[in-house]
Amino acid sequence: MKSGSHLEKVLTAGHFAVTAELGPPKGGDAGVIRHGAAMLKDVCDALNVTDNQTAVVRMSSVAACAILKQEGVDPVLQMTCRDRNRLAIQSDILGASALGIRNILCLTGDHQKFGNHPTAKNVHDIDSIQLVQMVKRMRDERKFDCGEEIQGELPFFIGAAANPFADPYEFRPIRLAKKVKAGADFIQSQAVFNVEKFRDYMARVRDMGLLEKVYFLAGVIPVKSVGMIRYMKESVAGLDIPDELVRRMENAEKAREEGVRICVELIQQIREIPGVRGVHIMAVAWESIVPRIVEEAGLLPRPVASTGPTQGE
Amino acid sequence: MIIGEQKPLEEIKELIGDARKVLVAGCGTCVAVCSAGGEREAQILASALRLAFQVDGNSREVTEATVQRQCEWEYIDPLAEQVAESDVVVSLACGIGVQTLVERFPEAWIVPGLNTTFLGMPQEQGIWVERCQACGQCILGVTAGICPIARCSKQLLNGPCGGSHDGKCEVNPDIECAWHLIYERLRKLGKLELMLRFQPAKDWSVSRDGGPRRIVREDLRVLPET
């Protein structure tokens, strides 16, 4: 066990893991986080806290993770390279460890152009793969990036993102291999809508022998409206949304219901793909739908940490 | 102008690798003026490489050619034949020249022989100093013509930090404190009120932070947009 986090225990015990995303508030009220925790605690194994997601300023992910800890949730600290240099990143990692945070997801970060401070400088002192390696070195060798020694342990379960659909498509498994080699223990992928393409990607990743070295959690996004799926199809780079899904949303009597149905179906299909060890539900500004999706996808009850997989898992 | 500094010979040799035919391409503009990559430096580097390869006991063919400017296609077109015959081209231009060659000769393997260091000027024989960071929105009009973006180690916009000592920057005694210079100049010219103004956070979207930049002048274009 590298970190002893609940997520790590669930995955190493062989369960199909469920994680979800919680966006911190655009304000200083801890109540929003506590409310999210109460809502999602029993339907997820761990909760990701986004780090100024889409470059919009929100409550610090370290602080929000600490609040989740208090609420009995296993948090996944999302850490981007956009807003911090290597000094700030390392000091935040020390702080996160002190607060009992055990999972970290290492990300590049969305460009600030898409956020609410488009004239800001971006940092990108190191990139996400270098960050993975840095955290691994901090944990395993107890060394800072500069080589100086760190006092005490930093037990982190190290995560990285993967986008199976971005261009150049052929390069994507290679980039994943670099992240695994750098030290990623688990992967949370970009949202899957095109299951065929994802299956092909996973086959290539499997052939490269990566799935023996990393726990792969596939991302899904429940779609709330026709406008949302159209927007994601047309304007969000790195998403691959088949026309059929857009048509289903357009023709549905109740778009939200169809969105839930699609999400549940996607989870069920993705789960059948060899090597997928869990699902990561990114219900952007629609966290309240997560319990229903997890239930309808047949993923309840969630395992208690120390037990092995239940029958049928 | 663009200031560059030649890479160590060992590094250049490493970049050349196993290539048999080497073309050293000099540039006759900025990097010639700063004695890093002009005709003379191209000749010297080519000779040094020939000698080094001889010492290493493997024969290579090293030639050199210098153009007026490596950063414009029309100036590098005459190199086409020599580039095509080479296994590797060591460009002694700045990073712009290297990439101009790459874009014009996509089949060729081009490596840099210089480190492009900064935008600046010669201060005296043998000394070059940085003066501009191409931040995209010039503030020299309010900083007495002295750029704190290029010359202050912290890129401050509202006066010197606590690390200013005797007109020098704490980072290195060879660095003049840009804000000390600005202060002195404003004082002498009776414009100190400029320094009392609060300078708001800069718009970095027009700098490197906003992504690679491009200027389109419709009044000057002759080709249709592709």
Could you report the per-residue pLDDT of B147-188, keeping only the tens digit for each? Answer: 999 999 999 999 999 999 999 999 999 999 999 999 999 999
Distance from CA of B102 to the nearest CA of A (A): 21
Whether residues A122 and B203 touch (CB distance < 8 A) is answered with: no
Q: Domain for residue B213, yes or no?
A: no
Q: In angstroms, rounded to a whole number, what is the distance separating the alpha carbons of residues A171 and A162?
A: 11
Q: Does the pLDDT value for residue A311 go beyond 80? A: no
Can you tell me the ipTM of this complex?
A: 0.88
Whether residues A121 and B211 touch (CB distance < 8 A) is answered with: no
For each of the domains in chain A, give its residue range(s) and CATH number, in order of start: 6-296 (3.20.20.220)
Q: Domain for residue B67, yes or no?
A: yes
Judgement on whether residues B154 and B92 belong to the same structural domain of the protein: no
Judgement on whether residues B61 and B13 belong to the same structural domain of the protein: yes
CB B92 within 8 A of CB B48: no
- The percentage of residues in chain A with a pLDDT greater than 90, rounded to a whole number, is 94
Name the band, by pLDDT with cuts 50, 70 and 90, for residue B225: low
Domain total for chain B?
A: 2
Strands A276-281 and A215-220: parallel
Region A43-56 average pLDDT: 97
Please give the residue range of the domain that contains residue B178. Answer: 134-200
Tally of CB atoms within 10 A around A254 = 9
Helix or strand run (H / E) with residue A2: none
Please state the three-class secondary structure of B139-150 as a single string: CCCCCCCCCHHH
Among A55, A60, A64, A47, which Cα is nearest to A280's?
A: A47
Nearest CA in chain A to B208: A121
Name the residue with tokens 């889409």. A54
Q: Tens digits of per-residue pLDDT, A101-140?
A: 999 999 999 999 999 999 999 999 999 999 999 999 999 9
Lookup: tokens for B165: 């000592």
Lookup: tokens for B181: 């210079």
Q: Domain for residue B224, yes or no?
A: no
Region A192-201 average pLDDT: 97
Q: Domain for residue B123, yes or no?
A: no
What values do phi and psi take at B174, rounded to 5?
A: -80, -10
Q: Does the pLDDT value for residue A220 go beyond 80? A: yes
Q: Tens digits of per-residue pLDDT, A261-304?
A: 999 999 999 999 999 999 999 998 899 999 999 999 999 999 98
Judgement on whether residues B46 and B78 belong to the same structural domain of the protein: yes
Q: What was the pLDDT predicted at B226?
A: 64
Residue B132: exposed, middle, or buried by beta-carbon count in 10 A (0-12, 13-18, 19+)? middle
CB contacts < 8 A (A, B): 21
Region B5-33 average pLDDT: 97
A113 touches chain B (CB under 8 A): yes
CB B39 within 8 A of CB B28: yes
Mean pLDDT, chain B, as a whole number? 96
- C-alpha separations of B94 from B26, B32, B70, B128 in Å: 10, 10, 8, 15
Q: Name the E strands within chain A.
A: 17-22, 46-49, 75-80, 103-107, 157-162, 186-191, 215-220, 276-281
A237 touches chain B (CB under 8 A): no
Nearest CA in chain A to B206: A119
Mean pLDDT, chain A, as a whole number? 95
